[in-house]
Amino acid sequence: MEYRKLGNTGLEVSRLSFGASSLGGVFRPVVEEIAIQAVHTALDGGINFIDVSPYYGLTKAETLLGKALKGIRRERYILATKVGRITATDFDFSANRVIASVDESLKRLGVDYVDLIQCHDIEFGSLDQIVNETLPALQRLCQTGQARFIGITGLPICVFHKVLDQTQVDTILSYCHYTLQDTTLAGHLPYLETKGVGIINASPLGMGLLTDRPPPNWHPAAPAIRAACARAAVQCRKKGQSLSQLAIQFSATHPGIATTLVGTADPKEIEQDLCWMDQPLDLELLAEVQALLAPVRDQTWLSGRIENN
């Protein structure tokens, strides 16, 4: 496994990392012992960065991750969680709530500190509040030792500019914007580099769009995007290949991205994902798939407040 610097944090994160939303059962029901095995397989395979949130499975993912991490030396993993997103529609970025939220997360995770605390999906909140109230509150948690670094996450990339033009954070987490179907993030890397932030790229499989299975019902992609991805999966199968393999290899290759977070609660899938890191990208298949996805290239969906898109 290759390890890369996460911005100016001094942390060295694995090029492929583990996203724990699957542990909350967001894609399909989870069997606890198997999900725990998935976390152990990830760590044994060299992954050292794990991302979670109280929102995933409405605290279920953090609780399950806490069980999986029990007995594992704390120095073996770099742990990130989030604040502010409570349910699909409820958000609270107030200082009091986010400070209490971190306390609750630490208890569920069974740790004394997290390495990274992130404001979750800031496009749903007031960016003024994020800049003037939430981030300063998280900064105070870094002084008390409950967290080491602070970050922001969201779908519309413009929110990162709006925040970073006003204040500093250590990391940004962008999702579904550096995949086979959407590479918008690449155009923003020069700006993000000037801000010195560590770049976390999540959802290389487009939250299930770029696999052999249909995406979950809640997936926000338009029918045209789903259909083009399904055609790409058929093309890969025709060649005896897997769209997931191509997708993960593609997303985890950009040198300007510190780490790419993939999610699964299945040890066999994370084992495959790890194995794909050591195999070369099939450039001929990549060109064929990119041609099939060209009509929906960089198409995305609205997320959060209109003014934040």
Tell whether residue 264 is a contact of ligand NAD (CB under 6 A): yes
Query: Strand pairing of 198-202 and 12-14?
Result: unpaired
Q: Mention every residue, 6+ apart, whose C-beta is less than 8 A from residue 275.
A: none
Stretch that binds ligand NAD, among 13-21, 141-149, 156-164, 219-227 (CB under 6 A): 13-21
Q: Is 20 in the site for ligand NAD (CB under 6 A)?
A: yes
AA identity, residue 71: G
What are the DSSP E strand ranges found in 29-143?
49-51, 78-83, 114-119
| 222/101 Cα distance (integer angstroms) | 34
Nearest residue (CB) to ligand NAD, 145 versus 232: 232
User: Would you count residue 273 as binding ligand NAD (CB under 6 A)?
Assistant: yes
CA atoms within 13 A on the CB side of 86: 12
Nearest alpha-carbon partner for 83 in 42, 132, 134 = 134
With CB under 6 A as the contact rule, the residue among 236, 263, 292, 308 that binds ligand NAD is: 263
Contact code string over 43-62 relative to ligand NAD, x by CB under 6 A: --------x-----------
Q: Does 261 bind ligand NAD (CB under 6 A)?
A: yes
Q: How far is the CB of 16 from ligand NAD (least distance, A)?
A: 10
Ranges within 230-249 binding ligand NAD (CB under 6 A): 244
**Within 188-217, which residues bind ligand NAD (CB under 6 A)?**
202-208, 211
Is residue 56 part of the annotated active site? The answer reads: yes
Greatest Cα-to-Cα distance within the chain, rounded to the nearest angstrom: 55
Distance CA 238, CA 13 (A): 35
Residues 70-99 contacting ligand NAD, CB under 6 A: none
Which lies closer to ligand NAD via its Cβ, residue 44 or residue 144? 44
153 binds ligand NAD (CB under 6 A): yes
Contact between 101 and ligand NAD by CB under 6 A: the answer reads: no
56 with 26: CB under 8 angstroms?
yes
Among 56, 77, 175, 178, the one annotated catalytic: 56
Unique residue bearing structure tokens 């590479």: 183
- Give the C-alpha separation, 292 to 95, whole Å: 46
- Under the criterion CB under 6 A, does residue 15 sit at the interface with ligand NAD? no
Instruction: Write the CB contacts of 92 (distance below 8 Å, at least 6 apart in sequence).
Output: 84, 86, 98
Identify the bridge partners of residue 173 per DSSP, sorted by sequence position.
Answer: 153, 200
Helix (H) or strand (E) segment spanning residue 12: strand 12-14
Confirm or reject binding of residue 182 to ligand NAD (CB under 6 A). no
Q: How far is the CB of 157 from ligand NAD (least distance, A)?
A: 12
User: Which range in 21-29, 87-95, 130-138, 161-169 contacts ligand NAD by CB under 6 A?
Assistant: 21-29
Residues within the interface to ligand NAD (CB under 6 A): 19-22, 27, 51, 120-121, 153, 173, 175, 202-208, 211, 244, 261-264, 266, 269, 272-273
